[in-house]
Structure 1
Amino acid sequence: MAASPGAARGGTVVHRVLNNNVVVSIDDSGRERILMGRGLGFQLKPTDTIDPDRVEKTFILDDGAEGERERQLLTDVPYAVVEAVTRAVDEAERMLARDLGRRVSIGVLDHVQYLLERLDKGLRIPSTSMPELRVLHPQEFAAAQHMTASIGASLGRELPPEEAVFLTMHVLNATRDEPNGTAALLFRRVQHVVATVERSIGVRLDVDSPDYARFILHVQFLLQRLVTRSMLHSSDTSFYEFARHSYPRSHAIAEEVKAYVREATGSELTDEELLYLVVHVERLASQIPPGAAADTVLP
């Protein structure tokens, strides 16, 4: 489904009125367009012509069952929510200086309506703060935070701050030529590696520290190199052997990560990749104060 502001000029004819704010028209190529505007469909008949100045948003529906689902969503969701979401997506596009593509508006709308229904019932959707997002994709995360605040302000409601995580995933999937869910899968794997290191060294990492940022950036690039089959290789193993013998604890933790990567992806980390993991883990482990408790956060 594509969305665009306004409508084509030239006297669009109504095909079907879905509700007071949503009508369907047929374009010159025979495709259905959903036209939206406050009060746009009030007392309209199928033969009436729509005033283009009253059209606030145009959606081009997908074909088949997916298009029908989109049409039903746009019909059922209160127009105030549609306005809030489409305005927030427009603002995010301006922040990122790019078009977020066909399905972001409908995906965010579907998610926000589900969220509001849960909140109205006193339920809060379990989530995670995923601090990795702030480091790996600061622009997309900032845009998602703005979207969360904008939607909440438009609706006069306070949305949970972790909603920025969900919206970041929508933005990431829209700005990358990857199947839906690819970004989420990558971040789950990054999180697993971080959790493995935290458990093994016995402290929680400070998500705002430079070393944390370097570490998760390295982990992300490592996992992406697995996908593109461009892992680091070197014929000189002396540095790896030095690290293995000099930092046995960090090497053991890196081996845990290696085992996880093998299980999750079926790929085997090279000694060169393992070397850099050892270096990062050792840098993090070296910051642990003597006698630090397990819930200590590294400074």
Structure 2
Amino acid sequence: MAYQGTRHASPAFKVLNNNVIVIVDERGDERVLMGRGLAFGLKPGDAIDHTKVAKTFVLARGEQGEHDLRVLTRAPYRLVAAVTAAIDEAERALGRALGRHLPLAVVDHLEFVLERLGQGLRVPATMPELRVLYGQEFAAATRMVESISASLGAPLPDEEVVFLTMHLVNATRGFPDGTTALLFRRVRHIVATVEAGLGVALDDESPDYARFVMHVQFLLQRLTNDAMLRNADLSFVEFTRHSYPRSAAIAEHVKTYVFGATGSSLTDEEVMYMTVHVERLAQQSGDRSAAS
């Protein structure tokens, strides 16, 4: 994480550009100091004007530290400043520290985004499930996009709310990198399977949609923990299968996808509850169609 207002007695060790220098602290750890014009005219061994230090980053050791150093050397200073300010605000909104690695991960990501935008390229991403499952992180990411856009004087694409939400979820929930993206790809695929089976676009503002997405998330978590639902009344399993044949068929498609994606087969009880949720969505979609 970035720290502000820290004083450093060590002289400059490396001068990377006009805004970035590296020092070695008393423990032998490398720290990157940033500030507008901080390193202008400095040479290794020169004293540092601490009034110009705006941000400090403690570098990890090994390849990760080398990667982070390349990011900070390459990224425009105003992007780093915009990101760290937005993350400071997100920490206040979420009421917790987000870790020292998040600012560099977001800077690295957004630098690539800005490069793509300069080439006229975008990567559309819509995941209404994120707002349902992680409302606080989604709201904080929305504010981050607004803040960074204002600081840069150019709007970031709307889809960046999705990507920044994933970064925040990884940071707040302690998930390894990529875990959140994998979870939501699977949730999104299951939602798309249901939409295709019903032949409608689900209303992502409805309570039934929110309940369904939560059910899918918990289903995938139960799968990971080998704690799937079992031992329900089998007569009710048969009842739902015969009473709601279309929804049951869609639930079977979901079962097929889950097995292909995870190698685990849903129990009859899990398929039954999936059928019930799909049927509720089908009824809601029918009511909406009738009303229109």
TM-score norm. by structure 2 comes to 0.95
- For residue 96 of structure 2, what is the aligned residue in structure 1? 98
SS of 2:285's partner is coil
What CA distance in whole angstroms lies between the structure 2 residues aligned with 1:38 and 1:194? Answer: 47
The C-alpha deviation readout for 1:114-156, integer Å capped at 9, x for no partner, is: 11112122222x2211110011101001111111111000010
Amino acid at match of 2:275: V
- For residue 73 of structure 1, what is the aligned residue in structure 2? 71
Q: Please say if residues 152 and 159 of structure 1, whose CA atoms lie closer than 8 Å, have aligned partners that are also in contact.
A: yes
- For residue 53 of structure 2, what is the aligned residue in structure 1? 55
The reply to whether residue 173 of structure 1 matches residue 174 of structure 2 is no
What CA distance in whole angstroms lies between the structure 1 residues aligned with 2:121 and 2:247? Answer: 42
Identity %: 60
The C-alpha deviation readout for 1:154-186, integer Å capped at 9, x for no partner, is: 010011111101111111111223221011001
- For residue 150 of structure 2, what is the aligned residue in structure 1? 153
- For residue 127 of structure 1, what is the aligned residue in structure 2? 124
What CA distance in whole angstroms lies between the structure 2 residues aligned with 1:260 and 1:71? Answer: 41
What CA distance in whole angstroms lies between the structure 1 residues aligned with 2:140 and 2:109? Answer: 16
Moved more, 219-228 or 112-121: 112-121
Check 1:263–1:11 CA distance in 2 against 1; reply closer, same or farther (3 A cut): same
SS of 2:21's partner is strand
Check 1:10–1:259 CA distance in 2 against 1; reply closer, same or farther (3 A cut): closer
What are the ranges of 5 or more consecutive residues in structure 2 without an aligned counterpart?
none
Q: Please say if residues 12 and 52 of structure 1, whose CA atoms lie closer than 8 Å, have aligned partners that are also in contact.
A: no
Equivalent positions of 1:185-204 (< 5 A) are 185-204=182-201
Check 1:61–1:154 CA distance in 2 against 1; reply closer, same or farther (3 A cut): same
- For residue 3 of structure 2, what is the aligned residue in structure 1? 4
From 31, 34, 37, give the equivalent of 1:39: 37
Q: Please say if residues 24 and 33 of structure 1, whose CA atoms lie closer than 8 Å, have aligned partners that are also in contact.
A: yes
What CA distance in whole angstroms lies between the structure 1 residues aligned with 2:288 and 2:126? Answer: 28
Instruction: Let me know the Cα RMSD of the aligned residues.
Output: 1.9
The reply to whether residue 288 of structure 1 matches residue 273 of structure 2 is no
The C-alpha deviation readout for 1:6-30, integer Å capped at 9, x for no partner, is: 32x3523211111111110001111
SS of 2:100's partner is coil
Instruction: Specify which structure has the higher proportion of helix.
Output: 2
Q: Please say if residues 108 and 170 of structure 1, whose CA atoms lie closer than 8 Å, have aligned partners that are also in contact.
A: yes
What are the ranges of 5 or more consecutive residues in structure 1 without an aligned counterpart?
none
What CA distance in whole angstroms lies between the structure 1 residues aligned with 2:23 and 2:286? Answer: 67
Q: Shift in Å at residue 218 of structure 1?
A: 0.4
TM-score norm. by structure 1 comes to 0.93
SS of 1:287's partner is helix
Amino acid at match of 2:5: G
- For residue 88 of structure 1, what is the aligned residue in structure 2? 86
Amino acid at match of 2:91: E
